[in-house]
Structure 1
Amino acid sequence: MAQLRTSAGRACALLKAMANEDRLLLLCQLAEGERNVSELQQNTDIAQPTLSQQLGVLRDEGLVDTRRDGKYIYYRLAKDEVLAVMQALYASFCGSVPRASASSRQSRAK
């Protein structure tokens, strides 16, 4: 029972972090593969200050990882659990299931 309670706590933390429209839009984008901040802003129409704030929340909660390439910061899903939840949400609400690119999955494995 203790292990089940721990798992329930982790699931609640994940769902709480996802329970924001902007963060969910960002996670939807990242479920399709790694994106830089400019791509995320362009694809979601989230204003820069809000985008930065919500990406910070996702980073603090451990849902996304980052890497720097020159002047760009790229974001990707940090955990397979996040991708699994996003795939379930896509299937239920969007009609198709995203698949993270192989490079995105490999980056998470490191």
Structure 2
Amino acid sequence: MKNSVMDLEQMQLAADRACRVMKVLANPDRLLILCQLSQGERRVGELEELLGIVQPTLSQQLTVLRDEELVSTRREGKNIHYALTSPKALAVMQVLYEQFCVCETE
């Protein structure tokens, strides 16, 4: 494994990018949406039904996720499908799942 030392400017830019992702994930509705999308593509109606998030709030949160380029959309007829497309966000979601959602059996 190669050791590389980041200069201060690179570290600041990386910290800024990480903070942006963490800020987006800090909202419970967006976190739930990404949790569902980490399992695969979903239609807006499916997300609404699965999560119990009402349409205006769901649309608002999906817009934030789209603006931050964490998700992408695909239209099929009248349906809009969302997919989690950010590898970094998916990696964070996997860690959060392991730390908070996996039940330990003893």
Q: TM-score, normalised by structure 2?
A: 0.86
Query: In the alignment, which residue of structure 2 is the partner of 1:33?
Result: 40
SS at 1:62 equivalent? coil
Query: In the alignment, which residue of structure 2 is the partner of 1:19?
Result: 26
State the one-letter code of the partner of 1:7.
A
Query: In the alignment, which residue of structure 2 is the partner of 1:102?
Result: none
SS at 2:74 equivalent? strand
Q: What root-mean-square deviation, in Å, do the aligned CA atoms of Structure 1 and Structure 2 show?
A: 1.1
Number of residues paired by the alignment? 96
Identity of aligned residues (%): 57
d(CA) in 1 for partners of 2:77, 2:10 = 43
State the one-letter code of the partner of 2:16.
G
- The runs of 5 or more residues in structure 2 that have no matched partner are 1-7
Query: In the alignment, which residue of structure 2 is the partner of 1:59?
Result: 66
Query: In the alignment, which residue of structure 1 is the partner of 2:101?
Result: 94
d(CA) in 2 for partners of 1:54, 1:80 = 19
Q: TM-score, normalised by structure 1?
A: 0.83
Query: In the alignment, which residue of structure 2 is the partner of 1:104?
Result: none
- The runs of 5 or more residues in structure 1 that have no matched partner are 97-110
- Runs of 4+ with deviation above 2 angstroms: none
State the one-letter code of the partner of 1:70.
G
State the one-letter code of the partner of 1:58.
L
Cα deviation for residue 39 of structure 1 reads 0.7
State the one-letter code of the partner of 1:86.
M
Question: Highest relative contact order (Cα 8 Å, sep 6+), 1 or 2?
Answer: 1
More helix by share: 1
State the one-letter code of the partner of 2:53.
I
